[in-house]
Amino acid sequence: MKEPIFGADRFQLLETFVRIVEAGSLSAAATQLGATQPTVSRRLQALERAFGVRLIQRSTHAMGLTEEGQRCYERALELLKSWQTLEGDVHGASRQPAGTLRVVAPHAFGQDQFIEPLADYLSRYPDMRVEWLLHDRLPDFIGENIDCAIRVGHVPDPSLVAIKLGEVPRLVACAPALLQGRAVPEHPSELTDLPWVALRTFYREDIELIHRQTGERVRVEIAPRLSTDGLYAIAKAMRLGLGAGAASSWALVQDLAAGKLVHLVPEWMAEPLPVHLIYAPSRLQPVRLRRFIDIMKEYLPAELQASQAAAASTAVF
């Protein structure tokens, strides 16, 4: 079927052009769009014929925007985003997304805390499929065709769009046997004599604790016997008595309630970790992504508030 030159599908041509620029090649753009490379090439040629200028300089080994192409890319982004806003205003909540959403989530949260809102999303939108990719590194949104990522901790790239969903409180705890009959430490200075395990993503050789009431901060130097980037691994190492550690309260609260762990310095806490939903600044927001963001904004604050309440209640242990 012959591709349109520049009629009713002009937005398709612009979106294809934007995807080519962001993906870095015609073949990558074709993969992301679910089209063939010749189709993507024809759409680009149609757009160039419509404007009467070359937008992309192509060679065997490289591809780059012309001056006109750069202006077209910037304006195309504005137009497509405006169109998406108009679509959202007109269709409202009745618009049902379809297709595939690709999300990167951190290992521990992605296996536990985030599954409920994910299930809610798939329940609300039966025509959607989700690729739920679990790793803690920041993805290449364009190159890997990632719609969004959920990140616990700071966002290292200020150019990314970051929507703060809430904060994760963190507790300091250890196995009862590690105290060897001593009283539960009340002040951070009493923690230096204990062996430690470290969640190296957030602390390695020292950890800063904050008093819940006064906001006083005390830095504790530690020499970890074990360091890992896995939350579940650190929690199990703590249960086995390898050392004291700090971890997300939701991951420890059941062990604290069961007496498998003891809450150390209960009037103090480690710095809460922010939770953000992030995506590339130039990445267009299709309906599938906007609906996912809406659900995450609904769910996570309530979940994190519950986690904070649970953290406060552990002070009795």
pLDDT in tens, 27-84: 878 877 778 889 989 999 999 998 999 999 876 667 788 999 889 988 888 887 777 6
pLDDT in tens, 144-157: 889 999 999 998 88
Question: At 112, which CATH number?
Answer: 3.40.190.10
- Domain membership of residue 314 (yes or no) is no
Question: At 20, which CATH number?
Answer: 1.10.10.10
Same domain, 153 and 283: yes
Residue 167 CA to its chain's centroid (Å): 13
> What burial letters (b/e) apply to 248-279, b meaning 16+ CB within 10 Å?
bbbbbbebbeeebbbbbbbebbbbbbbbbbbb
Does the predicted TM-score (pTM) go above 0.75? no
Domain count, the chain: 3
Number of Cα atoms under 13 Å in the Cβ half of residue 300? 23
The range of the structural domain enclosing residue 22 comes to: 8-91
pLDDT number for residue 199: 93
Same domain, 121 and 217: no
Q: From 66, 91, 116, give the residue that closes a domain.
A: 91
What is the DSSP pairing of strand 262-263 with strand 245-248? Answer: unpaired
Same domain, 159 and 296: yes
Among 111, 104, 103, 102, smallest CA distance to 248 is for 111
CB 104 within 8 A of CB 160: no
User: What is the Cα–Cα distance from 257 to 262, expressed in whole angstroms?
Assistant: 9
User: What is the Cα–Cα distance from 276 to 296, expressed in whole angstroms?
Assistant: 10
DSSP string, 128-167: EEEEEEE-SSPP-TTTTT--EEEEES--S-TTSEEEEEEE
pLDDT in tens, 180-239: 999 999 999 999 999 999 999 899 999 999 999 999 999 999 999 999 999 999 999 999
